[in-house]
Structure 1
Amino acid sequence: MGLLVICLAAMALLFILLKAVRRRLPKAEQPEGGTACANESACAQAGASCMHDCVMEQAVKEIEYFDDEELDAYKGRKSDSYTDEEAAQFAEVLYTMRPSEVKDWTANLTLRGISMPDQIKDEAIMLMEG
């Protein structure tokens, strides 16, 4: 538990340092929107540094639940180990959300240590791509 707290604190410190360095960059080198994740296409063009900022931003972000607390029971499971009935629980949550929420939901599953079942990954990707 102590190691987890130390890792989270180190990640938060790194995030703060990255933000401070990023503020010193000329505006032309920064993606539109002010944060690394605000404009993904601009961030993708900006390169690895911007993507790193985005990953760090997600890592220190507070976990959000999408009325799916029951999925915490699957923490630590591999994506190819779900039965069709277990995958159906994920699909039920997936089909109740707006397409714009799917990306945040999948990111929050990852932050919670939950792998999405292989059975529904294609559908989630299609919803995210719109």
Structure 2
Amino acid sequence: MTGALIILGVTLLTGLILWLTHRPGDDSGADESPEADASGEPEVCCGLHAVCEKGLSPDGKPVYYDDEELDRFSGREPDSYSSEEEEEFREVLYTLLPADVYPWGVSLTQRNIALPSALRDEWVMMAGDAAGH
């Protein structure tokens, strides 16, 4: 019984400390999402959540990554690619800068191009690595 009371006390104390230092509406910036970081640059989201539109151009048009030849795959199913066609996607994917991996996927989606099933996991892993996860 004493152990349970100690755990409860520590939990309450931790909650109180967190509440005091991270109150909603507190302008200290602690754990809030600022509009700009310390250097004055706008903060960029990680790109892995639905609320973020990272990679979208302001006018809604897709951004090309020297991959115009992939437009011929528009409307194809992810499982319908041959190994040579998958290799075309892989070549583009592995020549992208890490910061361009996620926006490239957005560009493909905007152009109605499905990433081959075999590359989907590779793209997700690379996009996560670029976002720092």
TM-score, normalised relative to structure 2: 0.58
Q: Which residue of 2 aligns with 1:127?
A: 126
Which residue identity is paired with 1:38? V
Check whether the contact 1:99–1:128 (CA below 8 A) recurs between aligned residues. Answer: yes
CA distance in structure 2 between the partners assigned to 1:91 and 1:100 by the alignment = 16
Which residue identity is paired with 2:44? A
Seq. identity, %: 36
Q: Which residue of 2 aligns with 1:85?
A: 84
Check whether the contact 1:75–1:113 (CA below 8 A) recurs between aligned residues. Answer: yes
Superposed CA offset, 1:76-110 (max 9, x none): 00111111111100001011111211000000000
Q: CA deviation at 1:62?
A: 2.4
- TM-align CA RMSD: 3.2
Superposed CA offset, 1:31-64 (max 9, x none): 4337xx93248x96xxx8xx2xx45x94852211
| Unaligned runs of at least 5 residues, structure 1 | 1-25
Question: Structure 1 residues 40 and 93, CA, compared in 2 at 3 Å: closer, same or farther?
Answer: closer
Number of equivalenced pairs: 94
Q: Which residue of 2 aligns with 1:109?
A: 108
Q: Which residue of 1 aligns with 2:35?
A: 33
TM-score, normalised relative to structure 1: 0.59
Superposed CA offset, 1:103-130 (max 9, x none): 0000000001100001111111121121
